[in-house]
Amino acid sequence: MSGLVAIAPANESVDRYNYILGTHTIGAHYQFTDKTRLVETAEVIQGMGSNILKFRFGPSFSKRNYAGPNPGQYDRLVDLAAHEPSFRAVFEMPFYYYFMWVAPMQPAKWGDADGFTRKDALITYREIYDLVTYLLKTYRGSGKHFYLGHWEGDWLLVRDYDAQMDPIPHRVENMIKWLIVRQKAVDDAKRDNPDTDVQVFHYCEVNQVMKGLKGQKCLTTEVLPHVSVDYVSYSAYDAQQNAATNLPAALDFIEKHLPAKPELSGKRVWIGEFGFKAKSHSPAAQQARSLEFAELAIQWGCPFVLHWQLYDNEFKDGAYNGFWLINDKGEEQPLFHALTDYFNAGRRAVASSVQQTGQVPDADSYRQQAQEWLQAANAPQ
């Protein structure tokens, strides 16, 4: 693996601009340095020129040395944020858009038939409220954005990842209560800490949207209309086949079921995951299909499009599935370089706009440029 990639000259406006595309570091199976996997991968992503970072934050933080061994002293999310060295390190790095799968450090279940109890609700509320308060206060002046959410919610409503199964009624009821409590914790912490330029939002993630388009029940139809979440993340693997037709239809379907929130402008549905595994795609095809999918999502208006992922997390039957930008041998894939070129093109465009006009590009003009860069990257050489 080569060293960090040099990025275009930057100033604060360039560093903070939303370049839409990003990637993940979750559950990586390998690494190449003696740093924790979270810090190592964050440094590589920063070196690509990205200012977006998505990772897991909660009780499983130490899994596979993600953030070092867990000595057991972190009883609350706020303790993890304030005292765990790897998380402190990445929060202090020049990322401006953080996406976090957040779960309380204390047990607080909601999927059981017993329901989402008052104790579960209090633990959930207090840990998220305290975490948001900490982020708002600690990083005041940084302009950072934090998006707190969860992994693919449709799977949480059924048994054994059964895509044909209707959501279990008690899980639907409990998920609605769970999401309402999480949203309230975020909203209350923001209300109680208004003097900050840090932004914190709450999102839920859907992943079986094509099922809803076929008239079947899913999270989008059964839960989403009843919760006032800030944003919705779409783990969009079910729309990757015939994406030119399926992806816009799926995004429209989600948006139709998402309750209005006048205080938030623009589109509120983004791509939380997409990707094409090397196990069934050549490196060139992996790049081509990924860039085509990203272009479709940007064209629709997704505020973020997050690729799965930097290092692979799936090792089965003695082989990796190959959801990666850098493989287990440290080899940077064509898509790694295409995304690095994209980030650098974006930074140069923003820097040029600031130099010439004193303003960053408006979102629509940047979105148009982004599509052109992706098309050019996929053009025959």
> Quick one: average pLDDT of 116-130?
96
Neighbours of 261 (CB within 10 A): 12
Radius of gyration of the chain (CA): 20
Name the β-bridge partners of 205: 233
Q: Using the predicted structure, report yes or no on whether residue 205 has a pLDDT greater than 70.
A: yes
Q: Using the predicted structure, report yes or no on whether residue 147 has a pLDDT greater than 70.
A: yes
Q: How far apart are CA 322 and CA 341, in angstroms?
A: 21
For position 7, what pLDDT does the model report? 45
For CA atoms 229, 149, 191, 264, the dihedral sign is: negative
* 8 band by pLDDT with thresholds 50, 70 and 90: very low
Q: Using the predicted structure, report yes or no on whether residue 191 has a pLDDT greater than 60.
A: yes
Average pLDDT, the chain: 94
For position 381, what pLDDT does the model report? 67
Q: Percent of the chain having pLDDT more than 70?
A: 96
Domain ranges across the chain: 18-328
Q: How far apart are CA 131 and CA 108, in angstroms?
A: 16
Model confidence pLDDT, tens digit, residues 14-52: 999 999 999 999 999 999 999 999 999 999 999 999 999
Exposed / middle / buried, residue 321 (Cβ in 10 Å: 0-12, 13-18, 19+): middle
Quick check: 325 and 339 in contact, CB under 8 A?
A: yes
Q: How far apart are CA 201 and CA 231, in angstroms?
A: 8
Q: How far apart are CA 238 and CA 70, in angstroms?
A: 35
Q: Quick one: tokens of 359?
A: 């303003």
**CA atoms lying within 13 Å on the CB side of residue 232:** 30
265: Cβ contacts below 8 Å, ≥ 6 apart? none
- Looking only at the bridges linking them, the beta strands covering 319-320 and 315-316 are antiparallel
Model confidence pLDDT, tens digit, residues 216-275: 999 999 999 999 999 999 999 999 999 999 999 999 999 999 999 999 999 999 999 999
Model confidence pLDDT, tens digit, residues 298-336: 999 999 999 999 999 999 889 999 999 999 999 999 999
Residue 257: its H or E element: helix 243-257
Q: Report if pTM > 0.85.
A: yes
For position 1, what pLDDT does the model report? 44
Q: How far apart are CA 201 and CA 98, in angstroms?
A: 10
Q: Using the predicted structure, report yes or no on whether residue 5 has a pLDDT greater than 50.
A: no
For position 237, what pLDDT does the model report? 98
Task: Please tell me whether the peptide bond between 309 and the residue prior to it is cis, using omega within 30 degrees of 0.
Answer: yes
* 103 band by pLDDT with thresholds 50, 70 and 90: very high
Q: Using the predicted structure, report yes or no on whether residue 115 has a pLDDT greater than 90.
A: no
CATH number of 18-328: 3.20.20.80
- Helices 243-257 and 283-300: crossing angle, nearest 10°? 40
Quick check: 97 and 145 in contact, CB under 8 A?
A: yes
For position 65, what pLDDT does the model report? 75
> Quick one: average pLDDT of 341-349?
96
